[in-house]
Amino acid sequence: MRVPFFELQARATYFQDYLRSQGIDGALLVQRADTLYFSGTAQNVHFYVPKTGRPVVLVYRDFARAQAESSWGAIPLTGLSKIPELIQGSGLPLPQVLGLEFDVLPVAQFERYRKLFPTVALKDISGAIRRQRAVKSAWEIERMQEAAEIYPQVLAYARTILRPGMTELELEGLLEGKARALGNGGYVRMRGFGSEFHFGAVTAGERATIPSSFDGPVVGQGLWPEQPAGASEAEIRTGEPIVVDTVNVVRGYQVDQTRMLAIGDLSEELKKAYALACEIEEILRRALVPGRTTGEVYDEVLTWVKENTPYSENFMGYGPSRVSFVGHGVGLELDELPTISRGAREVLVPGMVIAIEPKFVFPGVGVVGIEDTVVVADADGARFITKAPQEIIFA
């Protein structure tokens, strides 16, 4: 099923308004999430957006698939040197000012485009694309709602398989297999340079508190130094808090969610901290009001944690490994705008989709917390897209 043409047209029209406002004649997009967003296909394409007129989909491979998938139609691209003549052959003038995605474009590739357009001024349009993609359409939110149907069923399955002696890796593998059987697409795209991710972090006890290069409050020990995140081969012990922080994807659109499991019981302190995390999530949800800045919301939440909990030093990490955010945009990528973070200045707009994730990290003990994907709505705050029950699952 194609992305509806009205959806692609609306995206292109909005972006063309930006190009004209900045005196940019056209933009050449090559990053996979961006070309997918504007063209409707995840094939290997260049997508040229003129400031006026019909965009052009230039396809390396696979041409037949791109032609079938993109409502714009497609033109074969046999080499980068052909781009200028293909633009002109589509009835469009060559740009004098050309936009490129500076944030993700490798230097070697950038230099090739500069040689292709030697007299053209090159400008960065990556920030504008990220800000546009931060606000989801009704069609996009529907895809994310479909992705949200998977996690509650995975949790119900977890209740039936969780047992003493099970390793983190075994649990993660079974849960990922169940999610795939339920329609999880599997791809977790990220924009950040060198960023890597997979199904998520299924990790327990003190191993959940181990930090790593990934900028998140819960990473997991992983299997090896070469893969230092996610599940390990350690057995899950009775009384350990088990974090199930996973991403489910439908039609490329991701939702991020976290719930807690345990074999046996948890200490009263951990259960108290989890209840506080749930309370903080509700405070966050209500604070996501259109017109507010994300940094303002972050400061408000941090202040509440300091004044109303005994665990402010454990919030969103511990010591030098603490992270300075409590929420991040999600969509075609896991690290989209806006971020609910220290110093952030994005203004909240209806349609922004954000994963909010208050978590407490207790070194040597474990992690408790919650995460849901929400959409900024109105004066009452955001509304939930994800829908799993908040209760801890005990086996």
- pLDDT at res. 94: 96
Class of domain 138-394: alpha beta
Give residue-wise pLDDT tens across range 337-391. Answer: 999 999 999 999 999 999 999 999 999 999 999 999 999 999 999 999 999 999 9
Task: Identify the pLDDT of residue 291.
Answer: 98
Q: Where are the domains of the chain?
A: 5-133, 138-394
pLDDT of residue 228: 92
Q: Regarding the domain delimited by 5-133, which CATH topology (the fold level of the hierarchy) does it fall under? A: Creatine Amidinohydrolase; Chain A, domain 1 (3.40.350)
Q: Which residues of the chain are under the pLDDT cut of 50?
A: none
How far is residue 58 from each of residues 81, 100, 187, 367, measured CA to CA in Å?
12, 15, 23, 47
